Amino acid sequence: MLLAYFDEPNSRKCGVCDVCLEEKRQKNADEIFDNITHEIVQFLRISTPDIGTLINTINIGTEKEKMETIRLLLDAGKGAASVLAVFLISRLWNSGYPLRESDAAIRAALAGFFAVLGHMFPAWLRFKGGKGVATALGSFVLIAPKATLVMIGVFAFTLLAFRFVSLGSVIAVALFPLPVWLLREYHDEPLVLTIIAAASIMIVLKHHANIRRLILGTEPHFQLRHG
């Protein structure tokens, strides 16, 4: 905007000021996330550090980027862990007896639903938690992997087209039950589809403030920069 004011909208970027450095950082956000995740995985293979040590050990990204990556991984991880734990317990509980696929799917879906619910309304934070997108991703990628991949594509397309992270999240989550149904990843058990739909509705409602800002035109854009 400042360059446009001086009739220099196409002025070359210096590449060294804070604005240019921030643009480069935004452009490489996905690469930074992948590299930080890789470093975390590699370090955890040889050690079990506290959070401070882990952050200081990672050589890529800012402290904020490191914390955000760790938070997203933890949110998705607790969703996946909940589903896996229930699935394994069900297997052990039914040891010696055949466990119907539909029963296992119902229990896994319930585990994912309550993982999302617990993330949104944690008692130790006075029921003020997150929006549940990452936790739902970790949960339902194990139950409906094909539908999850479809919705990741929908999220990416919406983000690139409209540059709103919240809009991409809301649309992807709201539509998620549709590919689950079309791809028949609910294991022919309507209750599984109902549970997934209920989780989707909860997440969309949790985005009420973002939806209000989108309507008012005050929701911040995702800055897809060009270096």
The dihedral through the CA atoms of 99, 100, 101, 102 has a sign that is: negative
pLDDT number for residue 30: 61
Residue 5, pLDDT > 50, answer no
Q: What is the pLDDT of residues 27-51, one digit of tens each?
A: 566 677 677 777 777 777 787 777 7
**8 Å CB contact between 210 and 166:** yes
Longest dimension (CA), the chain: 77
pTM comes to 0.76
Q: What is the pLDDT of residues 106-156, one digit of tens each?
A: 999 999 999 999 999 999 888 999 999 999 999 999 999 999 999 999 999
Give the Cα separation of 198 and 2 in Å (integer). Answer: 46
Q: What is the pLDDT of residues 71-91, one digit of tens each?
A: 889 999 999 999 999 988 887
**8 Å CB contact between 155 and 203:** no
